[in-house]
């Protein structure tokens, strides 16, 4: 394969064009990635399962379709990875745990809906990726399978972010062209930020979650990780069940309408919470990126949102995540708690104290909070903030201290979880102050069902940020 078609940093659009022009084949592309997995992931840290035979067969079928001029979609034949919590027909779904394997959980009778739709579009599913056990942490540490590492400063060994840790590393390390994860409090956007990638959290109801092990059904969403905003657009549209014909058009591929290019988007930066505690690298990146957007014609204004401070109180008892995860896990925890990651189990167990009345109160508080915040931000095209206020932390201190782990986890989840509570959509864009510097994620976010508009705005921001790096 030619060097300029190495998939490590190529968008899905570039790979699709190369397949169409027969510059590459899906078989070669898939084989290269399987070889990289075998060479670089022999310990199984990034992938918990690799579907070698199925991937090769799917690639061969895709090549036949491209040769005949009848591809199923623009991503036909492109290899992607999926998080370990998605059902795959004929296999057990383990969600990064040992528990579900030990109790011999039922074999999936069908693929998860999102994965089935990607297969129907011709995607080559390489395998399942590692994750925080049961998706309950923003750091990505897994004591059962090992901890995937951020591509930055590998010598120090820094977390890739969670819970979709292996998903992001599979893309950053060039062993998948894109990845599918889930996001309950930032679990797509945090690893995207820590690995220098683009991650999209759609409105929760946009992608059918059937066949995905839940963490908190009120907050869960399914989203993609890729190299470009356009990668996320394609994968999101396919998983949402949109008409595939629109993906072939130039307008859908670029998502840049002439009228939108001429407009001056207004971005709101919350005055409270989201810029607090930024380290020097993130603060510098956020300032530089904001100035660049302003020079490009964006209007950036502060918005007063003291409501953000209410989230700490709302979640003091564990919040909706603890309440809802307890309902799913309580049967397993009664008999198998010793097989859980203790740092995951302790968080789920907080939900035991949240009775039906307290749970309903949480739901009511959330809806009231959404209404008040929505009113304040409706005038903005999007909110603008750091995805995470710090660069990827080193693994060792997190393993050594439960207190450091807990504090760091709360800090990492703080900004992205705002949007999950809001029931909004959000996009994390990569940015680096220096060419070899730490990856930083910068987040655009909006209210529910503004996904398409946010992705179009994300492409405009991406063009500005890419030009200055």
Residues taking part in catalysis: 83, 163, 187
- Half-sphere exposure (CA, 13 Å, Cβ side) for 455? 25
Q: Which two tokens stand for residue 383?
A: 């909110």
Q: How far apart are CA 213 and CA 95, in angstroms?
A: 7
Residue whose tokens read 């066949």: 211
Helices (H), 195-350: 229-239, 245-248, 250-254, 258-262, 280-295, 310-314, 319-336, 342-349
Structure token pair of residue 345: 């189990």
Helices 229-239 and 451-467, axial angle in degrees (round to 10): 160
Alpha-carbon gap, residue 338 to 344, rounded angstroms? 11
Strands 198-201 and 222-226: antiparallel
Secondary-structure breakdown of the chain: helix, strand, coil percentages, each rounded to the nearest 5? 50, 15, 40
How many angstroms separate the CA atoms of 256 and 394, rounded? 39
Q: How many CB atoms lie within 10 A of CB 106?
A: 10
Is the CB of residue 91 less than 8 Å from the CB of residue 125? Answer: no
Report the length, in residues, of the chain: 469
For the record, the structure tokens of 49 come out as 């399962």
CB 108 within 8 A of CB 12: no
| Alpha-carbon dihedral angle through residues 14, 19, 24, 28, given to the nearest 10 degrees | 110
Contact 200, 232 (CB under 8 A): yes
Neighbours of 95 (CB within 10 A): 26
The tokens describing 78, both together, are 């492109």
- Which helix (H) or strand (E) is 53 found in, with range? helix 52-68
What separation in angstroms does the CA of 109 have from each of 130, 160, 354?
22, 32, 33
DSSP state of 157: -
Q: How far apart are CA 431 and CA 438, in angstroms?
A: 9
Closest CA to 387 of 257, 217, 199: 199
């Amino acid at each position: 394969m030619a060097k300029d078609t190495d998939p490590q940093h190529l968008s899905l659009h570039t790979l699709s064009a190369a397949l169409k022009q027969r510059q590459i084949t899906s078989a070669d592309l898939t084989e290269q990635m399987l070889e990289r997995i075998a060479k670089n992931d022999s310990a199984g840290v990034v992938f918990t399962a690799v579907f070698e035979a199925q991937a090769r067969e799917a690639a061969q079928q895709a090549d036949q379709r491209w040769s005949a001029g009848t591809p199923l979609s623009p991503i036909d034949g492109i290899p992607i990875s999926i998080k370990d919590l998605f059902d795959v027909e004929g296999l057990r779904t383990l969600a990064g745990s040992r528990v579900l394997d030990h109790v011999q959980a039922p074999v999936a009778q069908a693929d998860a809906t999102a994965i089935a739709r990607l297969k129907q579009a011709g995607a080559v599913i390489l395998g399942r990726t590692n994750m925080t056990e049961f998706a309950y942490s923003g750091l990505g540490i897994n004591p059962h399978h090992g901890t995937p590492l951020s591509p930055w400063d590998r010598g120090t060994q820094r977390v890739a972010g969670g819970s979709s840790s292996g998903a992001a590393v599979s893309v950053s390390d060039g062993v998948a062209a894109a990845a599918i994860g889930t996001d309950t409090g930032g679990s797509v956007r945090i690893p995207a930020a820590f690995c220098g990638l683009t991650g999209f959290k759609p409105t929760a109801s946009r992608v059918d979650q059937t066949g995905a092990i839940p963490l908190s059904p009120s907050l869960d969403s399914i989203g993609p990780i890729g190299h470009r905003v356009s990668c996320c657009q394609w994968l999101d549209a396919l998983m949402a069940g949109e008409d595939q014909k629109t993906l072939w058009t130039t307008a859908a591929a670029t998502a840049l309408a002439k009228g939108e290019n001429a407009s001056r988007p207004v971005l709101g930066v919350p005055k409270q919470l989201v810029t607090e505690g930024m380290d020097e690298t993130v603060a510098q990146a956020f300032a530089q990126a904001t100035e660049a957007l302003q020079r490009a014609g964006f209007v950036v204004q502060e918005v007063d949102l003291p409501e953000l401070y209410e989230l700490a109180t709302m979640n003091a008892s564990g919040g909706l995540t603890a309440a809802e995860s307890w309902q799913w896990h309580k049967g397993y925890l009664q008999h198998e708690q010793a097989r859980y990651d203790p740092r995951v189990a302790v968080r789920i167990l907080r939900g035991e104290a949240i009775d039906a009345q307290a749970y309903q109160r949480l739901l009511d508080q959330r809806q009231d909070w959404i209404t008040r915040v929505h009113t304040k931000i409706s005038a903005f095209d999007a909110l603008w903030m750091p995805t995470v206020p710090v660069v990827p932390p080193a693994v060792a201190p997190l393993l050594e201290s439960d207190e450091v782990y807990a504090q760091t986890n709360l800090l990492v989840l703080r900004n992205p979880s705002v949007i999950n509570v809001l029931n909004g959509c959000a996009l994390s864009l990569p940015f680096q102050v220096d060419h070899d510097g730490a990856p930083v994620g910068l987040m655009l976010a909006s209210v529910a069902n503004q996904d398409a508009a946010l992705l179009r705005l994300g492409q405009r921001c991406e063009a500005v940020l890419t030009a200055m790096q």
